[in-house]
Structure 1
């Protein structure tokens, strides 16, 4: 008895819609892997993607759903769809990190964030400085409210905080550091989102000192500032 391919239906004819969904899914997967949309970044809206990929919105919705199921992207109500990982291998590794103790994650971040801040102060370029200043301003504005408002506003604040820490690591120009940090981003974002979001947990001065030290090229001060940020997070947990 012949076994039908999963993309066939009556009479062994190919299910063209299923094939098209797979094509669009692989196109999206390839664009994410190529860095067109970085981890933590929102992908274009559904109408924009439908135009970009020359496909129907129904097909696109199915393709994005497949990537959501794989853990590569995440839909956030009222905010959009965000990249969680480059591929399923990162999802598996990220799952390992997500089961780790919070204390262990903070200690791992100390090893990464503090050293990356020192390297960033030594290696940052004009493009890094522009990203750091813009992200810091957006992050501080979102966190400078007494209470986070809607769920989408809370998500935006958490995203901005995550993006700032990633921007410091990116400014280190150590590709291995950044690749490893991207594996941590989903669980890092989760731990930030689980805490208090708003002015009481903003640590605005500490984050500002960190960016200013990196921009000024002061490696020792940048390391101290990065450590102070983590000390504040640890104290807040207690």
Structure 2
């Protein structure tokens, strides 16, 4: 018996999934409106609505009342990891982040390139400048800074896992700032400086110090 042909909803769902997976709509961004999706796919509104709903159910999209629908995971795997981490204790997630960041900082200090250095300096400076004027932007840049350090480690597996955990990391950063009301600018600056200087021991120590400071001002 030949396999059943995918339904129109299945085909539209797969089309939207590909747009997310190939980075057309990155994690954290809002997807096009329903009207635009109708034009993009050539399907009716009900079909588009069902396809979006399927990806919401899969954990890749999140509908936000009055704001739109946002990408929260770049793949089914990321969605699964995100659901697991979201159900974990906040303290456990913080400790996992510390383990990842300390090792990544050590590797980044050994392997960072000139492009990595320019990226880290740019994100660090923009993060600090925006802290008092645009807290949402500053929080996004905080996460971007830590990801840039992981990217500078040039360990593809580390970066892949970090990206899988990114939505939970973003939520964790947001909560830590709400709890501590601090930007830890000196600690972030010391971490970036150590990576730029190519000092693995200092980078690891700076990462540990940053998380020690966060933990000291954070309640589970």
Same fold (TM over 0.5): yes
Query: Aligned partners of 2:68, 2:205: CA distance in 1, in Å?
Result: 36
**Unpaired runs of 5+ in structure 1?**
8-18, 146-152
Contact 1:46 1:61 in 2 (8 A): no
State whether structure 2 residue 98 is matched by structure 1 residue 74.
no
Alignment partner of 1:165 out of 146, 169, 192: 146
Name the CA distance, whole Å, in 1 between partners of 2:62 and 2:117.
29
Bigger CA drift: 161-170 or 188-197? 188-197
Q: For 1:209-236, what per-residue CA distance to the aligned partner results, in whole angstroms no more than 9, with x for missing partners?
A: 2122212222222111111111121011
Aligned-residue Cα RMSD (Å) equals 3.4
Preserved CA contact (<8 Å) 1:98 1:187 = yes
1:84 matches 2:72: yes
Normalising by structure 2, we get a TM-score of: 0.78
Unpaired runs of 5+ in structure 2? Answer: none
Distance 1:57 1:154 in 2: 39
* Preserved contact between residue 132 and residue 168 of structure 1 (Cα < 8 Å): yes
State TM-score, norm by structure 1.
Answer: 0.73
One of 98, 101, 125 as aligned partner of 2:89: 101
CA shift digits 1:158-184 (9 cap, x unpaired): 222112111111111111111111222
Shift of 1:195: 3.5
CA separation of 1:159 and 1:25: change in aligned 2, threshold 3 A: farther
What secondary structure is seen at the aligned counterpart in 1 of 2:62? strand
Shift of 1:26: 2.0
For residues 143 and 90 of structure 1, what CA distance do their matches in structure 2 show?
A: 29
CA gap of 1:121–1:154, structure 2 versus 1, over 3 A, is: same
